Amino acid sequence: MRSRILVLLLSSLLGVAGLSALEIGSEARSSSMFFPWAPTHALAGTSAWSPGSFTTWFYGGAAWVIIPMGEDFRFHLAYETDPVLRNVASGIFRFEKGVASVGVGPFMGFLNNDRRLYSLGLSTSILVQWPGIAFVSARSDGGLALGLVAGAASVPQTAAELTAGFYTANSVVSGSVSGKSFSMNDAQGKLIEDALTRYALIVDIFKKNIPYQLKTTLGYEQRSKYFQSSGLTDTLGSAIAGLKLTVTPVEGLSFHGEFTNAIFTFGMDHLKGRSPSTRSVLFSAAAGLTWNFEPDRLKWPAALKWPAALTWPPAKK
């Protein structure tokens, strides 16, 4: 019965909006390369930084749905748990016309350890491309906080990314610069801030009619945790290399797996001279799936009859 109701609801939604297709995706994530979310103090002593055991690694995920709303509009609804941003959700309305694409919508953090029920900001993005030649995109999340719960204070989660690339016969080559930050107060009201800056060269390799797609990443990451109470900052720099494989066994359904390894990591600021052991496994990994389907696939088969007990309202005798 629940499956039938879900099918009917999705069919109604697609029919009202005049949609052509729907995309649903999910992803599981894990990483040993992150600072604890707890409002701890700067790492003391002289020992090297350690990522801890698998029980202390980061575990999270993401889920999203993309709903076309007419010929030029799409609505992106997403949730994710991020090693820096914590729990965030967004709802982006995207307008695509010709060589340009513009997106805007709410960006919200919720149930995080910053003593706020939630905080609401704005996500904006723009993409300009020359089809088959090159593209430039920019995105900013968290600016222009509305402060519905925390007054006029800025939203604690912020993120930004700038990407530029060009197309070749069987690949897309791009370079990106991105940053994320999360701020909160400790028990004494002092600021604690997590930050991540990333520089990456990305090559997305594909071939028509081949159900495999490979994306390679080479770059540098710098993550830090600042403590106002002591004025100290724990910082790690890492050279990274990553691979992402996407497999599409049938039309409309794809699976992907991604693994990024910290080739070389070294301590900076308060962690200077306290680099992680070369035997430490420093990584981030993800696995997920994406499903695209047409509205007519949601129509309930007329030949399939439900038991009378599951029919509502019940038939009159």
Residue 144 neighbours by CB under 8 Å, 6+ apart? 121, 122
Domain borders along the chain are: 22-39+57-304
Reply yes or no on whether the pLDDT at 144 is more than 60: no
Please tell me the CATH code under which domain 22-39+57-304 is placed.
2.40.160.60
Angstrom distance (rounded) from CA 85 to CA 34:
11
**Which amino acid, residue 109?**
G
Across 18-27, 63-72, 192-201, 202-211, least confident range: 18-27
The first and second tokens of residue 249, run together, are 């066994």
What pLDDT score was predicted for residue 278?
A: 76
Residue 10: pLDDT over 70: no
* pLDDT exceeds cutoff 90 at 26: yes
CA distance 236 to 83: 15
Q: In whole angstroms, what is the distance from residue 220 CA to residue 75 CA?
A: 32
What number of CA atoms fall less than 13 Å from residue 273's CA on the CB side?
3
Q: Is the pLDDT of residue 140 over 60?
A: yes
CA distance linking residue 269 with residue 137, whole number of Å: 32
pLDDT at 133: 95
- Categorize the per-residue pLDDT at 50 as very low, low, confident or very high, splitting at 50, 70 and 90: confident
Q: Which residues contact 305 (CB under 8 A, 6 or more apart)?
A: none
pLDDT, tens digit, for every residue of 163-208? 999 999 999 999 999 999 999 888 888 899 999 999 999 999 998 8
Mean pLDDT over the full length of the chain: 84
Q: What is the predicted pLDDT for the residue at 298?
A: 55
Higher pLDDT, 78 or 295: 78
- Global pTM reads 0.83
3-state secondary structure of 275: coil
Whole-number pLDDT of residue 308: 52
3-state secondary structure of 265: strand
